[in-house]
Chain A
Amino acid sequence: MKSLGLYAHFPFCPCRCPYCGFTVVTGKDDLHERYATALCNELEAIARLAPAEGLASVFFGGGTPTRLEPRLLERILTTVRASQGIAVGAEITVEANPGTTDAARYADLRQIGFNRISIGAQSFFDQGLRLLGRDHTAADALGAFRASRKAGFDNVNLDLIFSIPGATDEDWRRTLDVVVDLRPEHISTYALTLEEGTSFQRRARSGDLPVVCEDDDARQYIGGLERLTAAGYEHYEISNFALPGRRSRHNWAYWTGGEYLGVGVSAHRYVDGRRSWNTKDLPDYLAQVEAGSSPTEGGERLDPAAATSERVWLGLRTCEGVKLGRVEREGLAAKRRMTDLVRGGFVQLEGDRMKLTGKGIPVADAVSVEIVTVIEDLARDAQRGPDPPVP
């Protein structure tokens, strides 16, 4: 039996960050109680999916889960225990934001039963935080980290953003210096991405926001990667770094084909080879669950080609790479486009695993797309014989 994780989504935020493309709502804090009840109802409704040994990981993300009062979070976590069960030693993570979480709150979170906290610090540089439109300062971020330590969290993640429009390499370096000094167990570094429908994207389109060019973005990414690995962090996924033994088990499952449940508005799940997702609309979500019907809005079962593509692309994002079958391995090795990638130093084959090299990591998507294209060519060749020779 495979291990199973659970993701619960909390859409509430005090304000919407201008770069955020997630499902969040602002000014709906009167709905906390109803939302918690709905989550509990949804959890109970899927109790039949509970794994015998309990959940291997639980992740409360958002949005800002800590907008909810601790008693509501506790009620939900209690319902998780009751309906799904949580395995002994499971990783139980909650996301928190420095601007909205006071010091006392961290102790509550620890006490409720969360054993890992992910703090949306984003930057330790006030100008960077202002450029991002965050409602907290560098001092708040520092305070949040210290409060979490004080509350007894010995597994802390800090989320960081680089390639902030208007910020410099030096700003990013300073943030990294602070973070390395703090020595959290886990660090995620994300290049700022202009997501569809965000105010940053609109501003970039109208020329109101400077666009970070590929070269600058690459330099900051590689700079961060080198700084963190030099400080003893394992670079185990494109955007993720951990001290030994501190990889995020919950997220690891996403990248390696693990299955997970998802509850709450817009939550996705992957169960029995089928991916499905809830409605993104909060009133709709509440209405569905309260009426006793499923908030699931859509789903897909991956066809073999999509499954292969996903396996290769996600696997290559990790330090362990992707495992290839013998036929795949031999087929790939015979294709010029593949040997070009190996000779170009983008990927390496180690036994039955294919991994990105240091040179391949910053261009992981381009490499994956190339490899998936070659795999599709192989499948086509197998069906209809090879292409006619080009003169």
Chain B
Amino acid sequence: MNQSHIRNFCIVAHIDHGKSTLADRMLEMTDTLTSDQMQHQVLDDMDLERERGITIKAHAVRMAYRGANGEEYEFNLIDTPGHVDFTYEVSRSLAACEGAVLLVDATQGVEAQTVSNLLLALSDDLVIIPCVNKIDVASADVSGTKQQIVDLIGDGADEIFDISAKEGSGVQELLEAIVERIPPPGGAVEEGVRALIFDSLYDQYRGVICFLRVVDGSISKGQKIRFHSTDRVYEVEEIGILRLARVPTDTLLTGEVGYLIAGVKELSEARVGDTVIDADNPTANPLPGYRPFQPMVFSGLYPINPDEHQDLRDALERLRLNDAAFSYEPETSPALGFGFRCGFLGLLHMEIVQERLEREYRVDLITTLPNVRYEVLTKSGEVREVESPALLPPVVEIDEIREPILEAQILVPSEYIGSCMRVAEDRRGTYLNTEYLDSSRAALHYELPLAEVVVDFYDKLKSVSRGFASFDYEHKEMRAGPLVRLDILINSDLLDALAVIIHRDKSQEWGKRLCGKLKELIPRQMFEVIIQAAIGTKVIARETVRPFRKNVIAKCYGGDVSRKRKLLERQKEGKKRMKQFGSVEIPQEAFLAALKIDD
């Protein structure tokens, strides 16, 4: 295909605003697939994603579109992940495009995430084609939504498309606009190859499959290539384009989007954002924007049953083949035994990994409270990174503790401004300013400690705004604060998995509520259980779980022995699902007690 007839674009939209439905319509209208081939919302292919309505794994698809001028165009629709945890992945997908369709649900209006992705797209100089979707729905506010879009992108909003992705109306016009308004890719085919890896996945038969956009030059089967950031050399086994399945070709030319299989063993070798260059030209300039992977949220993962430690290791290894964005290393805890400290992009990402471990790999897990990475300046002037509260040096050695601070934006209808501000302030937010997007919507800007955001902040915002608030953030800096470690002791033994690093002013309340929650979650047992919260040697809260007073089946005669034995076996199985800590049994839920502290 002639480079001038290629259009690479993505769809920027909030979850549920109709991105997948629009993609479906485009595939249909370009005859890329027929409607009976259509598995609903084809771009999402993981169960979990579908359940959560989030596209985690970006894919791309090529469509052949015959324009009104009678000429055939090659469209590459590149999908983008849709959650705040995956901002960097989104930015790399955007970098593979020349244009973006901005899709806004006319029944919902613009959301924070749309704004942030739009800003990313604008900063990459993408041409934006704004669309108002769901115009067929009775509650649609088409003119209001258009006004929000105009306010957002100003002059660029001269033509906003009215579409109904569900019914297909307006989509034909949109396809034509993609031809007319989005520029063809630049780049020079005679140059040495430079291709952007914007996504990758692991296939158990083929190894790592990289999705890439050729920016300069071309890549052919058999060619020797080099990944810039790792400096590793591979031979291209297969290269091709993406339809609904992979279609092998001989060569990918400048401007084209496709996939590459080159004997890459692990996803961590094929970093999103990395540049593919010629093997014999190691000094080629990489494409801009590569960022090494950096987890933001950490948590300890332990098997409930110590016998499953090796199973958990295997599961983590296999999972990492599919998800290079989390890290793990062995960790031991006096309370929980052998486990792993894992790093994630964010809380949602953490939940996804946990769920996959439990669901796909069938390992019952105890997950410790998520925490962020702290920097500790010691009295000796050394700066240490601390990813687990348990590893915080003794208080006497600490000069200061620094925590990550975010700059956050909360988009909210005006009537909920007050309640959202209260949530932000309750989470140690520092107010920056308020921007009105239109008469009924505002963007609140805050500085927030990441630690305050990782646990249920977004849920809180949603609940005080009847689901209307949306939230987005970027990292600002590490900042010192009056932080302390709060320990939880069970019958005087330190339960390291429940320790947190917390702002001094919040420690009292936290300790009290956590002890209260643990009292609810730890069942009565043979012995009394004393739960204490302490800072250093000072106990700040205490609760007691009284022991069983009575635990015995009343009747047990011939006819019932089998049935009653089974009741006891169930009681025994229940115990096995708990973690033995000294003479105390602690249920799995207790380790996440702090996440549910407000329930």
Total count of chain B residues near the partner, CB < 8 A: 34
User: Contact size class for A?
Assistant: 35 or more
Q: Per-position contact with A for B564-584: 1 when CB-CB < 8 Å, else 0?
A: 010011011001100010010
B571/A254 in contact, CB under 8 A: no
A337 within 8 A of B: yes
Q: Of A310, A337, A366, which one neighbours B561 at CB under 8 angstroms? A: A310
Proximity string of chain A (266-277) to chain B, C-beta cutoff 8 Å, 1 when within and 0 when not: 111110000101
Complex Cα gap A336–B569 (Å)? 22
List of A residues within 8 angstroms of B338 by Cβ: 388, 390
Chain B positions within 8 Å of A346 at CB level: 526
Q: How far is A310 from B554 in the complex, measured between Cα atoms in Å?
A: 16
Contact A7:B550 (CB < 8 A) given known A373-B572, A391-B334: no
Residues of A within 8 A of B547 (CB): 363
The closest CB in chain B to the CB of A162 belongs to: B554
Is A190's beta carbon under 8 Å from chain B?
yes
B558 x A260 contact (CB < 8 A):
yes
Per-residue CB proximity of B493-525 to A under 8 Å, as 1/0?
000000000000000000000000000000011
Which chain B residues border A368 with CB–CB below 8 Å?
Answer: 568
Contact of A390 among B334, B525, B526, B562 (CB under 8 A): B334
Residues of A with C-beta under 8 A to B249: none
A11 to B555, CA, bound (A): 18
Q: How far is the CB of A220 from chain B (nearest CB, A)?
A: 9
Closest approach, in angstroms, between the C-beta of A243 and any C-beta of chain B?
Answer: 21
Residue A362, interface by CB 8 Å: yes
| A residues 204-242 touching B (CB-CB < 8 Å) | 214-215, 217-219, 221, 238-239
Residues of B319-352 whose CB lies within 8 A of A:
332, 334, 337-338
In the bound complex, residues from chain B placing their C-beta under 8 Å from that of A390 are 306, 332, 334, 337-338
Q: Is the CB of A254 within 8 A of B526?
A: no
Please judge, given known A-B contacts A7-B559, A193-B555, whether A309 and B549 are in contact too, CB under 8 Å: no
Assess whether B332 is in contact with A391, with CB atoms less than 8 Å apart. Answer: yes
Tell me whether B571 and A365 are in contact (CB under 8 A). Answer: yes
Q: Would B334 and A275 count as touching, CB distance under 8 A?
A: no
A362 B565 Cβ-Cβ under 8 A? no
Per the bound structure, the CA–CA distance linking A288 and B304 in Å amounts to 48
Would you call A217 and B334 a contact (CB within 8 A)?
A: no
Which residues on A sit within 8 Å (CB–CB) of B550?
191, 214, 217-218, 221, 362-363
Interface presence of A73 (CB below 8 A):
no
With A214-B549, A309-B565 already in contact, the answer to whether A254 and B558 are too (CB < 8 A) is yes
Report whether B552 and A238 are in contact in the complex, using a CB–CB cutoff of 8 Å. yes
CA distance A330 to B463 in the complex (A): 58
In this assembly, does B433 line the interface, its C-beta being within 8 Å of a C-beta of chain A? no
The answer to whether the Cβ of A30 comes within 8 Å of any Cβ in the partner chain is no
A217 to B553, CA, bound (A): 12
CB distance from A27 to the nearest CB of B (A): 23
Distance in angstroms between the alpha carbons of A306 and B558 in the assembled complex: 16
Q: Is B436 an interface residue (CB 8 A)?
A: no
Considering residues A337, A363, A388, which has the most beta carbons from chain B within 10 angstroms of its beta carbon? A363
Distance in angstroms from B308 CB to nearest chain A CB is: 13
Contact with B along A316-353 (1 / 0, CB 8 A): 01000000000000000000110011001010000000
- Do A369 and B575 touch across chains, with their CB atoms under 8 A apart? yes
Q: Is the CB of A309 within 8 A of B554?
A: no
Contact partner of B583 (CB less than 8 A), chosen from A214, A340, A362, is A340
Segment 404-428 of B: residues with Cβ below 8 Å from A = none
Contact A313 B568 (CB under 8 A): yes
CA distance A369 to B573 in the complex (A): 10
Which residues of the other chain, A, contact B555 by a CB distance below 8 angstroms?
Answer: 190, 193, 239
Find out whether the CB atom of A191 lies under 8 angstroms from the CB atom of B554: yes
Instruction: Collect the chain B residues with CB atoms within 8 Å of residue A370's CB.
Output: 526, 575
Complex partner residue of A254 from B554, B556, B572, CB under 8 angstroms: B556
Q: With A214-B550, A340-B526, A366-B548 given, name 8 new contacts (CB 8 A).
A: A7-B558, A190-B554, A251-B557, A268-B558, A309-B568, A309-B572, A361-B552, A365-B552
Residues of chain B touching chain A, judged by Cβ–Cβ distance below 8 Å, are 306, 332, 334, 337-338, 524-527, 547-562, 565, 568-569, 571-572, 575-576, 580, 583
Q: List 25 contacting pairs A-B, 8 Å CB cutoff, sorted by A.
A: A190-B554, A190-B555, A193-B554, A221-B550, A238-B552, A238-B553, A260-B558, A262-B559, A267-B559, A309-B572, A310-B561, A317-B552, A340-B526, A340-B583, A341-B526, A346-B526, A362-B548, A362-B549, A363-B552, A364-B551, A367-B526, A372-B568, A373-B576, A390-B334, A391-B332
Closest 8 CB pairs of A and B: A218-B549, A218-B550, A366-B551, A364-B552, A268-B559, A190-B554, A363-B551, A191-B554
